[in-house]
Structure 1
Amino acid sequence: MTTGDAASSPATSRVPIDRIGATVLKELVETIVSGQIQPADALPPEAVLSQEFGVSRTVIRESVKRLQEKGMVTVAQGRGTHVNPMSSWNLLDPLVISSLIGHDDALGILDDLSVVRGALEAAMAGAVAAKRTSDDLARLTASFEQMESVLHDSASYRDADVRFHLLVMQLSGNILAENVAHGLFERALESSRYHGVDPAQAFEITHAEHQLIFDAIVAGDREAARQAMEAHILGSWDRRRLPTHPRD
């Protein structure tokens, strides 16, 4: 270590390496998700990747380690690093799921995401209906009335819509379901493909569906709340989904 290195603070010396490593990791994830390197194929050797990205071998080594933590590759001493099938990937990892959505021309990942999100949020809506308190109902009422008040302002309505869903998740008390559904919801909202194209009177239709969810929770009807939430999430996605070729 030189005198100059010693004089630098740890934070100052780490930040550029972390930023570069994150960029390399993202590009490697994109390479695998896009199919440029197929399952069972080997990643290029460390020296080749180092030269290709213009970074040190240490950065490459750390990036590959993170790929391994995401389940995307297997590192075998003396046999190189090979890509794992998608079934081994951590599909809840934000970087992995975002990349999958970005390369999902057939929208199959978003179809699956909507089904999973629908099932989780349906269960949570049912749980809220079964155990709602007066405080829960007050908070839900305020959230629903906020949606109503901005029905003709698309940007504000979208924000209020998201807040209503997040509140239902929170009130369910199911921390695991909330964590998974919230993560999927966030990744989906980042994608223009998920937003699709709204049909005529989309917000009026959506609000009517939220009314059914709200009414079922207020009435304490667990099954009606579950059905209304699932029908809303799947129906809303189906209405705005862009036409595509079916996935293989």
Structure 2
Amino acid sequence: MSPSRRNGTEETVPRVPIDRIGSRVLQDLVELIVTGEMAEGDFLPPEQALCDEFGVSRTVIRESVKRMQEKGLVVVAQGRGTQVRSYHEWNVLDPLVFDALVRHDESLGVLDEVSVVRASLEGVMASEVAHAHRADDIEQIESHLEQMRTMTSDNAAFLEADLQFHLAVMAASRNQIAGTIARSLFVRARQSSRWDGNGPVDAVRLTLEEHERVFACIEAGDHEAARVAMEEHILGSWRRRRLPDGAHHLSP
């Protein structure tokens, strides 16, 4: 606890936990790099200068730099300082990095790329499930589809059932690498309001129809049709929701 004075009297002010301070410093430093204010090849200011700028201890700065290294944003060059790395070295699936990329991407190119990658990965996984699946896989996927059918008037519940449908297809594919990447992209993208974008009046109907088509192809064992149906659903859904470049939201 640290004391402060107000109206001539001393009162106790709780000290902010160092982890919360560190999180704020880390977020600010990530923003500087993601926005390009600090470009590839630039060096971070000296440690003491960062301490002075953020009003924190050397311990906080060192921990923040360490975490930035783990995210692939910087490299510590012995005797030279901390240098910003190329975008291609960043861990773009890291929640903090991904969130900053989406928030500062006026062209929505990041979310465009997310949709393309998701469509490709989930298309492959849907094909794998159609090609070889167990009866309990089909039952699990269909149970989430049935929830979507019954939740068309409850948007939050419908979206949750939608998510679970996709996760069930990923799990049934037994493709752990593709599933992990696609799940990370799907879950993190959904946390951005820009992912929700524009809300077409027929979005629920179209989304349900597309999921029905994916399921029908999987159940029929038509692996090529299942791949195409999943890809068309993911890309089509994003095209329907996508805001104009530079927009953050549209009024309903």
Give the alignment's TM-score, normalised by structure 1.
0.89
Separation of aligned partners in 2, 1:147 and 1:231: 19
**Which amino acid in structure 2 is aligned with residue 206 of structure 1?**
T
Q: Which runs of no fewer than 5 residues in structure 1 stay unpaired?
A: 1-14
What is the Cα deviation at residue 34 of structure 1?
1.2
How far is 1:20 from its partner?
2.2
The structure in which a higher percent of residues are helix is 1
d(CA) in 1 for partners of 2:201 and 2:43?
49
What is the alpha-carbon root mean square deviation over aligned residues? 1.6
How far did residue 155 of structure 1 move?
2.0
Quote the residue 2:56 is aligned against.
55
C-alpha distance in 1, partners of 2:74/2:217?
46
Tell me by how many angstroms 1:70 deviates.
Answer: 1.5
Checking the alignment, whether the CA contact within 8 Å between 1:91 and 1:97 is kept in structure 2 is yes
Map 1:1-248 → 2, pairs under 5 A: 16-244=17-245
SS of corresponding position for 1:207: helix
CA distance in 1, matches of 2:235, 2:93: 20
SS at match of 1:41: coil
What amino acid is aligned across from residue 96 of structure 1 in structure 2? Answer: V
CA–CA distance in 2 between the matches of 1:134 and 1:74? Answer: 50
Look up the equivalent residue of 2:146 and give its one-letter code. Answer: E
Contact 1:94 1:183 in 2 (8 A): no
1:187 partner amino acid: R
- Relative to the length of structure 2, the TM-score reads 0.88
Q: Secondary structure at the match of 2:76?
A: strand
Greater than 4 Å deviation, 4+ residue runs: none
Please report how far the alpha carbon of residue 153 of structure 1 lies from its aligned counterpart in structure 2 after TM superposition.
Answer: 2.2
**Cα distance between partner residues in 1 of 2:153 and 2:67:** 45
Task: Encode CA deviations 1:53-106: one digit per residue, 9 max, x unaligned.
Answer: 111111111211221121111211221111112111111212111110111111
Distance 2:202 2:33 in 1: 40
Aligned residues between the structures = 232
* Secondary structure of the corresponding residue to residue 71 of structure 1: coil
CA distance in 1, matches of 2:185, 2:142: 25
Measured in 1, the distance between the counterparts of 2:18 and 2:132 equals: 49
Distance in 2 (alpha carbons) for counterparts of 1:73 and 1:158: 37
Measure, in 1, the Cα distance between the counterparts of 2:62 and 2:117: 34
SS in 1 for 2:82: strand
Q: Which moved more, 1:125-134 or 1:208-217?
A: 125-134
Q: Is the 8 A contact 1:170 1:178 kept in 2?
A: yes
Moved more, 72-81 or 109-118: 72-81
| Residue type of the alignment partner of 1:68 | Q
Identity of aligned residues (%): 55
Instruction: Structure 2: state its 5+ residue gaps.
Output: 1-15, 247-252
Report the Cα distance in structure 2 between the residues aligned to 1:62 and 1:105, rounded to whole angstroms: 31
Distance 1:225 1:150 in 2: 24
